[in-house]
Structure 1
Amino acid sequence: MFYRELQPLDPQRYLGYGVRTGRNFLAAAQANAVPLGVSEFPWASRYYPIVFGPEGPGSIPVAITAVVEGRNLFVDTQGAWEPGVYVPGYLRRYPFWAQVDQQSQQANLWFDPQAGAVVPLQDDGDARPLFDFRGQPNAALNEIVQFCLQCLQDEFATAQFMAALHRERLLVDRHARIELAPGRFYELGGFRTVDVEAFHKLPEATLAQWVRNGWAALVAVHHWSLTYNWQQLVALHHRMEQQQQQQGPTGAEPALHHA
């Protein structure tokens, strides 16, 4: 998601290159949802409904960032994220990507050159150098590698949580029916949520294990995010509509109907 091409960050090829210091999220400007790791649930739940992707091997938790197709409410026209709002780690890692070689246990770093974040130092005086004159990683590259490795660890923990949800068959298909204006509705679907009633009916031994693993807390945070953030998301959509139209209040705030 968002990656269009991946190239290895080879010091021989990219000696004299740096990474831009300013963050730009235009790559996610049309994203309805952004992947999340389980470690992010407490922070993301303050701003986004946290749901789960459609059934399949790649199903993961995601933060809902839009109420209509192709319009991320948290990215402005300049690529800046909504001030004060948590930015998912998946986006903060982009355009970099790490893989760990199973034999050598060394991290291999890749990046998307089309993102425009890695540039010759002569083209951007503020860019942070990735390598020193010997081709050894500089501080900027070490920070990137460490963050990518943290993301990999979170992906592993997230996969364990998803496997447990599937094993207990706790995920159910949902959709939201959003009233954007009186009589004008939009159906937002293609996601799943935890069946809380089914979760509470799990055997006591299973529930105890979920508590010890921290998964019960994840279910609670997920449910909390759905309870409080859907309407905030709709309100943000309504506010942006008014700003774009450069008009005053247009009527009642859009309503959200869960299904």
Structure 2
Amino acid sequence: MASAPQLPLFYNGLEPLSSEAHTGYRIRQMDSAPFLVGQHAIPVTTDEFPLVQRHMPIVFSVGDDAIPLALMGLNEGVNVFVGDDGKLTEANIYVPAYVRRYPFMLAKLRPDADELSLCFDPTSDAIGAFDEGEPLFEGKEPSQATKDILGFNETFEQAGQRTQNFMRELREQGLLMDGEVSIQPEGADQPFVYRGFQMVNEQKLADLRGDQLRKMSQSGMLPLLYAHLFSLSLMRDVFARQVQQGKTPPAQLG
């Protein structure tokens, strides 16, 4: 069901932002996100867990390089929070930072480079040589809009580092296990069984030594683990949305 995204999810290309090549470029506000239609699993950082867990389940992708994912649908190609027009189906849903940073991201221009450069997806309709929107440059200098975009992306990268540390600790403690959720809709002959993701093993968490738990509590890791575990109850809410929207698979899913 959920796997780590190929690099990078949503992006069709990456081009470094340059005051020479993009002097007249502007960024304009978009009222829809077509790239989000049908995307069911979105990467999130641990900084976002407290907000995400109020709206959607948080799980972990499979494999050794697991990452946290917010589930906006339980099946491939299903996003219950975004309509076919790319607009949110309701106003108060939390939108992960990974989505909000698009079409920008920080990336290395060369594999051996130490620094990250602000890049953008040149296929995005949000950025270009438009008459409307906020300018990205004032002469040769970045505009305030560009400075704000850069600041947001730097904050996102820092959160990404904290998330990597969190995931490393999960692996070292052996707290991840293969996840499985069985949902039996009323009137259905067979339950819908969802696999292909990882979750925290509650029994192993309970069996940790006191000093290990104390360390996790002091580092802020323990509340994040419980935010993930509490969020799993929303699997059934997302499933109910799929039923309501007619996006439930016709047969049992394994």
TM-score exceeds 0.5? yes
Q: Which region of structure 1 is more displaced relative to structure 2, 188-197 or 106-115?
A: 106-115
Q: Aligned equivalents of 2:190 and 2:37: distance in 1?
A: 24
- Does the aligned pair in 2 maintain the 1:68–1:186 contact within 8 Å? no
Structure 1 position 223 matched with structure 2 position 232: no
Aligned-pair CA distance for 1:200? 1.6
Cα distance change, pair 45–208 in 1 and its aligned pair in 2 (3 A): same
Number of equivalent positions? 240
| 1:43-84 superposed Cα distances (whole Å, 9 cap, x missing partner) | 000111101010222x11000111222111111122112321
Deviation string 1:81-122 (CA, Å, 9 cap, x unpaired) is 232100000000111111479x99865101111122211123
Confirm whether residue 115 of structure 1 aligns to residue 124 of structure 2. Answer: yes
What residue is the counterpart of 1:64 in the other structure?
71
Matches within 5 A, 1:1-259: 1-57=9-65, 59-82=66-89, 83-99=91-107, 107-122=116-131, 125=132, 127-132=133-138, 134-179=139-184, 182-183=188-189, 186-227=192-233, 229-241=234-246
| SS class of match (2:163) | helix
* Structure 2, unaligned runs of 5 or more: 1-8
More strand by proportion, 1 or 2?
1
**What is the Cα-based RMSD across aligned positions, in Å?**
2.6
TM-score by length of 1: 0.85
Structure 1 residues 114, 14: CA separation in 2 closer, same or farther (over 3 Å shift)? same
For 2:144 and 2:159, how far apart are their aligned partners in 1? 23
Amino acid at match of 1:37: T
Alignment CA distance shift 1:179-1:95 (3 Å): farther
Taking structure 2 as the reference length, the TM-score comes to: 0.86
The 8 Å contact of residues 183 and 236 in structure 2, kept in 1 or not, is answered as no
Q: 1:231: Cα distance to partner?
A: 1.6
State the 1:188 CA deviation: 2.7
> Which shifted more, 92-101 or 2-11?
92-101
Any idea what SS the aligned residue of 2:181 has? strand
> Which whole-Å CA distance do the structure 2 matches of 1:104 and 1:115 have between them?
26
Question: 1:179, CA displacement in angstroms?
Answer: 4.7
Mind listing any 5+ residue stretches in structure 1 that lack a counterpart? 245-252
Contact 1:121 1:129 in 2 (8 A): no
Matched AA of 2:227: V
Matched residues in 2 for 1:68 and 1:12: separation?
Answer: 44
Q: Distance in 2 between matches of 1:13 and 1:234?
A: 46
Q: Percent identity?
A: 29
Greater helix content: 1
For residues 179 and 117 of structure 1, do their structure 2 counterparts lie closer, same or farther at Cα, with a shift above 3 Å needed? farther
